[in-house]
Amino acid sequence: MSTDTVDRPGEIHARPVRHPGRWVALVIIAILVAMLISSFITNPKWDWGFAFQIMQQKPVINGLWKGTILGTIGAMILGIVLGVILAVMRLSENPVLRGVSFAYTWFFRAMPRYVLLAFMGGAIALLYREFDIGVPFGQQIAGALGLSTDLTFWSFSWNDISSTIWVGILGLGLSEAAYMAEIARAGILSVDKGQGEAAQALGMSPGQAMRRIILPQAMRVIVPPTGNETIAMVKDTSLFIAASIITELYFQAYGFGQRSFKIVPGFMAAVMWYLIVCSILMVGQSYLERYFGRGFGAQAPTKRERKVKDLLSRTGDH
């Protein structure tokens, strides 16, 4: 071999592959978008100015916060907590718990949310006016023993909460739990069996191992579909009207348009709020994914890790 490098191939300056298809697609899309925008501007029925006004109306904002957003948060919290419990039950060794979890999931996955909300809004008040929290069969027992109390500690009337956001949260949350249970179960099963064994070998109880070791790792699998569920939930709050819950974005925005005989801006006001809320959620989801993916790829230390480093340097000089 010679040490002469003159004839040896040097750096590559190649021509890139051409993509004429991309340019054609760009032109077609550009034309379609231009047509759409022009229609937005020239067709007065869109009436964007009025749509923006509707977006800022007090009842609409109220519906957004106290209906759509509160309803989403409440239903998702209920759905996630109950869903994880159902998933753990489904994976437990106790056949009763497994059966209950299975039956729950079966029932609520088969129930359309609209029907469920309509049932809760309409039928429950007919069936049970009062809910008593107390000793089971307390009234019968008290009657048999001749007691003056009926062993009830707390009671409320369904009418007090019907048509409120609480019925909406309860209905959507119960339904969501069935889906979250499946998602959480897949997440738990995705964690290596050795993790639970290592935790138990260190003396953790099965519950501790689940909470401290398995669930945090399952979150990596659970978070992305939960983000999708949350975004879907934002939209499902528009079903609240089935339970006569009127403090809600779509009902308020559409109603405002209807009363002004301008239905289209009413729609568009709701659409734009949904787009804004869902966009914010998508950004939040990507942050969550990064947080629960820690340890599964190189990244900068989190705030907590910097705190630990602090602690370490302080405990160093004892």
Partner 1 sequence: MADMPLVHAVNVTKSFGDNQVLKGIDMDVHKGEVVCFLGPSGSGKTTFLRCINQLETINGGRIWVDGELMGYADKGGVLHRLHDKEIARQRREIGMVFQRFNLFPHKTVLDNIIEAPVQVKGEKKAEVTVRAKELLERVGLADKPLAYPGQLSGGQQQRVAIARALAMRPKLMLFDEPTSALDPELVGEVLTVMRELAKEGMTMIVVTHEMAFARDVADRVVFMDGGVVVEQGDPKQVINNPQHERTQTFLRRMQSEHEQAVAAVADPLGLTQDS
* Contacting positions for partner 1 (CB under 8 A): 192, 194-195, 197-206, 208, 212-213, 216-217, 220, 292, 294-298, 301, 305, 308-309, 311-312, 315-316, 318
Rg over alpha carbons for the chain, rounded to the nearest Å, is 28
The strand ranges marked E within 107-158 are 130-134, 152-157
- Residue nearer to partner 1 on the CB measure, 208 or 260: 208
* Contacts of 190 by beta carbon, 8 Å cutoff, 6+ apart: 218, 220, 221
**Contact predicate 286/294, CB 8 Å:** no
Taking the complex as a whole, the smallest distance from the CB of residue 217 to partner 1 amounts, in Å, to 5
- Residue nearer to partner 1 on the CB measure, 59 or 216: 216
Phi, psi of 166 (to 5 degrees): -65, -35
- Residue nearer to partner 1 on the CB measure, 138 or 196: 196
Taking the complex as a whole, the smallest distance from the CB of residue 221 to partner 1 amounts, in Å, to 12
Nearest to 274, CA basis, from 249, 255, 252: 249
**Contact predicate 177/79, CB 8 Å:** yes
Taking the complex as a whole, the smallest distance from the CB of residue 219 to partner 1 amounts, in Å, to 8
Nearest to 80, CA basis, from 303, 288, 294, 296: 288
- Residue nearer to partner 1 on the CB measure, 66 or 294: 294
Taking the complex as a whole, the smallest distance from the CB of residue 301 to partner 1 amounts, in Å, to 6
- Residue nearer to partner 1 on the CB measure, 201 or 232: 201
Taking the complex as a whole, the smallest distance from the CB of residue 289 to partner 1 amounts, in Å, to 13
Give dist(CA 47, CA 266) in Å, integer.
10
- Residue nearer to partner 1 on the CB measure, 143 or 301: 301
**Contact predicate 61/272, CB 8 Å:** no
Taking the complex as a whole, the smallest distance from the CB of residue 84 to partner 1 amounts, in Å, to 17
Beta bridge partners of residue 133, listed in sequence order: 154
